[in-house]
Structure 1
Amino acid sequence: MKSILLIISLGLSLSTYAQIVGSFYGSTDGTESTDIKIGKKTSGSTNFTIRTYDTGGSSYLRFHSLRWGAGYTWSREHSDGVDRNIAYLFGSGSGNYFQLFKDSDQAVTLQLHSKGDSYFNGGNVGIGTSTPTSLLHLKKNAASSIGPVLYLQNNQYDNSDEAGSRIAFFGYTENRKISIDGIMRNSGKPHRLEFNFEEDGAIINAMTMKHNGAVGINTSETGSHKLAVEGSIGAREVKVEASGWSDFVFEPDYELLTLEEVEQHIQEKGHLPEIPNAAEVTQNGINLGEMNAKLLQKIEELTLYMIEMNKRMNQVEAENAELKKEVSILKNE
């Protein structure tokens, strides 16, 4: 009798186990799926349902919550008997987010949020590489692709019709930073790239590059120049590609002003002929190549005056020597 009861009990246990680990179908022939309901039954419903379904030739597993907010936790039991979180997924009307946890202290190392902050605090991140060597390592492996490795885009324009993307470099405090700003202008206005230094709220524009190739150093206003510098320039050598030079002064048909004409111009104008006055230089500046050519022209004119004066002095000295000779003859008679 006891043997019969033991056999019956074992059969019931195996039957129950088969129901637990077996398949669940919505129909007896197994062609339709059914919901597995889990959780506390309240007002005719449960907290969660698990459903499988096929569509478009693919099979899906769906977790569904009947509450306003739903959280799903993946955890494991540690050797000390305490559960440790591995991952957490939460969804509600105010936002959905996913988190990964560090095993040792359960700190959140990864968060992806649909409406809030997303971050990663676990190590280096590699895109295009499995061996990142910095916090963010971008690598493009396609040899035939020539597109950008990093693409920054901002479609929102402010009141001044500008939109920008920024790359900022911080030290130990956000009060001091270096930034590279790409400023896009709408309505056909010029774009620019700025290199800025900021300390305690004060922004210094170190360099600006404009879409037409103009560069401003310590200024964003380049005017009609390709290079504008607010401040002095130090260089070991400067080469100016001049379009013309002043050797025409030595041409036979060059009309050299007389010294009397030069004197009259100075008395009337207060500066040399063909040289801008102080007011013009203050207002318009000078063209370095053109001014050097003008100064050389005046030097060459001075050279011609000196040559002419030297000829006259030689003539005077010759005449003076002749007169001395005649005077000596007269004294000896």
Structure 2
Amino acid sequence: MKRLVLIALLSVSALAKAQTFDAGGNGPAVAWDVADRFNYLGKPVAHYGLGWYSEAMNIPPYMYMSGFAGIKLFTWGEARMIIDGSGKVGIGTLNPESKLHLQDGSVFIKTLRTGSNSEYPLISGTQAVNGTSGHAGIYLYEDGSGGFGQASGLAFKVSVNDASPATAMLIKANGNIGIGTDTPREKFSVNGNIRAREIKVEATNWPDYVFEEGYDIGTLEGLEGYIKANKHLPDMPNAKAVEANGIAVSEMLKLQQQKIEELTLQLIEVNKKVVILQQQNQVNKKKIKIKK
């Protein structure tokens, strides 16, 4: 009983301090201290209060909530969200470090689908520079290839000079990433040039087997005949295949290394024959001198 009386007294005390007043002549408001106000567009608004406020004639009032040092929202007796005095918003944290700080959580954005082959903005923004505007955004992408609502990905779009935003990068539902292309056929497809300081390509079965005993390197005569008939080296793809399918870098490096090693062995064999011919030539020269 004493506890109920105490709560009642505290409630009466709080209500006595909280006062209702007219929010700049626009609607009722409740404030902790009516005298403690600030002016917004020439009209008084309480530093600590909740009310309704109209910014212009014949416009319905807006609801406002004001806290001088900030605003905290509670559930189950715990602060869940804060707007601090500088305007930073924190969700899951009472010390936001940026305009919007989300701590230990995630953001779920649900968009309504209206048809296949569509894009729905998740994050979108524009910026005007020197009279022209640029647009950038992240869109939910649906290509319809897996049936309505079954094949979606993310499209990253940008534009300059007021042009319609174009896809700069696309992540498809199967995980394939495309830059400069909307139809990536591999995990990473680029329609353009790539510049890097170093690229490391993993490869297996490197052709050191060429130097093993019993490996048939063929003959230069046989190689000449193959080239005349096929217009490319053995085991290497022809021009039409490369133009149609591209080349796998690791596989091409192995094939090129194989040919280098085979040609090196053939060059060694040719050199051996040249040395023998030189030696025979020296012997023949000595025989000729003796006969003279």
State the TM-score, normalizing by the size of structure 1: 0.59
Please say if residues 86 and 103 of structure 1, whose CA atoms lie closer than 8 Å, have aligned partners that are also in contact: no
1:129-186, Cα deviation, whole Å (9 max, x unpaired): 231655x6343239xx8531x32111x2122165634211221389421101133676
The answer to whether the aligner puts 1:159 opposite 2:120 as a matched pair is no
Q: Cα offset for 1:85?
A: 2.8
CA distance in 2 between counterparts of 1:193 and 1:110 reads 41
Report the equivalent of 1:217. Answer: 179
Aligned-partner Cα distance in 2 for 1:146–1:263: 68
Task: Give distance in 2, aligned partners of 1:163 and 1:119.
Answer: 34
Q: Which runs of 5+ in 1 are unaligned?
A: 1-72, 77-83, 90-100
In structure 1, the residue matched to 2:84 is 131
Cα pair distance change 1:230/1:106, threshold 3 Å: farther
Q: Distance in 2 between matches of 1:163 and 1:196?
A: 11
> Of residues 93, 103, 117 in structure 2, which corresponds to 1:141?
93
- Checking the alignment, whether the CA contact within 8 Å between 2:119 and 2:139 is kept in structure 1 is no
Please say if residues 217 and 229 of structure 1, whose CA atoms lie closer than 8 Å, have aligned partners that are also in contact. yes
Give the whole-Å Cα distance in 1 for the aligned partners of 2:199 and 2:259. 22
Compare 162-171 and 235-244 and name the one that shifted more: 162-171
Question: Is residue 105 from structure 1 mapped to residue 36 from structure 2 by the alignment?
Answer: no
Deviates more, 1:198-207 or 1:314-323: 198-207
* Distance apart, 1:301 and its partner CA: 0.9
2:135 aligned to which of 154, 165, 177: 177
Give the partner amino acid of 2:218: L
Shift of 1:258: 1.3
Contact kept, 8 Å, 2:226 with 2:233, in 1: the verdict is yes
Query: Which letter maps to 1:176?
Result: G
Deviations 1:45-67 (A, max 9, x none): xxxxxxxxxxxxxxxxxxxxxxx
1:207 matched to 2:169? The reply is yes
Partner residue of 1:314? 275
Matches of 2:262 and 2:159, distance apart in 1:
53
Match for 2:214 among 219, 229, 253? 253
Q: Which residue does the alignment assign to 1:75?
A: 22
What does residue 47 of structure 2 align with?
none
**Matched position secondary structure for 1:307:** helix
- Number of equivalences: 230
Cα shift readout 1:255-294 (whole Å, capped 9, x = no counterpart): 2221121111111111111111110000000000100111
Higher relative contact order (CA 8 A, sep 6+): 2
> What is the RMSD computed on CA atoms of the aligned residues?
3.7
Q: Does 1:265 align with 2:226?
A: yes
- Name the SS for the 1:129 alignment partner: strand
Question: SS where residue 165 of structure 2 aligns?
Answer: strand
What corresponds to 2:8 in structure 1? none
| Partner Cα distance (1:132, 1:320) in 2 | 99
Distance in 1, Cα, partners of 2:195 & 2:228 = 37
| Distance (Å, rounded) in 2 between the aligned partners of 1:314 and 1:75 | 112
* Paired residue type of 1:204: A
In structure 2, do the counterparts of structure 1 residues 245 and 169 end up closer, same or farther at CA, with 3 Å as the change threshold? same
Partner AA of 2:81 in structure 1: G
Is the Cα contact below 8 Å between 2:155 and 2:170 reproduced in 1? yes
Distance 2:25 2:204 in 1: 76
Equivalent residues in 2 for 1:83-98 (5 A)?
Answer: 84-87=24-27
CA contact (8 A) 2:236 2:255 kept: yes
Residue 300 of structure 1: how far off its partner (Å)? 0.6
Change (3 A) 1:301 1:237: same
Q: What amino acid does structure 2 have at the position aligned with 1:181?
A: Y
Alignment check: 8 A CA contact 1:74 1:85 kept? no
Structure 1 residue 106: deviation in Å? 4.6
Matched letter for residue 85 of structure 1: G
**Matches of 1:109 and 1:232 in 2, distance apart?**
57
Identity score, percent: 31
Whether the 8 Å CA contact 1:102–1:109 is kept in 2: the answer is no
Greater than 6 Å deviation, 4+ residue runs: 107-111, 122-127
User: Deviation string for 1:63-105 (max 9, x for gaps)?
Assistant: xxxxxxxxxx9625xxxxxxx235479xxxxxxxxxxx96443
